[in-house]
Amino acid sequence: MKLPWILAIASGAAVAAYIVLNTPGPEYATGNDTLEDAARGTARWGVDKRVSSIGDTISGKVKQTAGKLTGDQDLHDDGVVDEATGFVKDAAGKVAQAAGQAIHDLNR
């Protein structure tokens, strides 16, 4: 029973690493450094939230499946909550990335 969890965690970590390593940072024009730092920090926070959302979503799906297979309704319900948490974090990350880009665009 440990193998699916290990595979899920490893897959989530691999996807998270891929996203973090391949997400280009916004290109910044010269301008006020404090606004540029704010844009960069906001965009980075958004990426971090989106990466952590992948782990929550995957673990939620695994818990749901395990709950269905074992007949454990509590485990299934925990999986539903984890998956919903992942969706909310992903949405927050998208908003933060858009806010970072907006701050950058306003600083041009």
Residue 6 counted as domain residue: yes
Domain presence at residue 9: yes
Q: Is residue 41 situated within a structural domain?
A: yes
Range of the domain at 56: 2-20+33-106
CB 103 within 8 A of CB 38: yes
Tell me if 98 is assigned to some domain.
yes
Residue 54 near residue 20, CB atoms below 8 Å? no
Predicted confidence pLDDT, tens digits, the chain (108 residues): 567 767 777 777 787 777 767 776 666 554 446 777 777 788 888 888 888 888 889 999 999 999 999 999 999 999 999 999 989 988 988 898 888 888 878 776
Answer whether residue 88 is part of any domain. Answer: yes
Per-residue model confidence (pLDDT) at position 96: 86
| pTM flag (> 0.75) | no
| pLDDT at position 74 | 92
Domains identified in the chain, total number: 1
Q: Please list the helix, strand and coil fractions of the chain in percent, rounded to the nearest 5, in that order.
A: 85, 0, 15
Q: Does residue 26 belong to any structural domain of this protein? A: no
The long-range contacts involving 93-97, CB below 8 angstroms and separated by at least 24 positions, are 93/45, 93/46, 93/47, 93/48, 93/49, 93/50, 93/51, 93/53, 94/46, 94/50, 95/46, 96/42, 96/43, 96/45, 96/46, 96/49, 97/42, 97/43, 97/46, 97/47, 97/50
27 in a domain, yes or no?
no
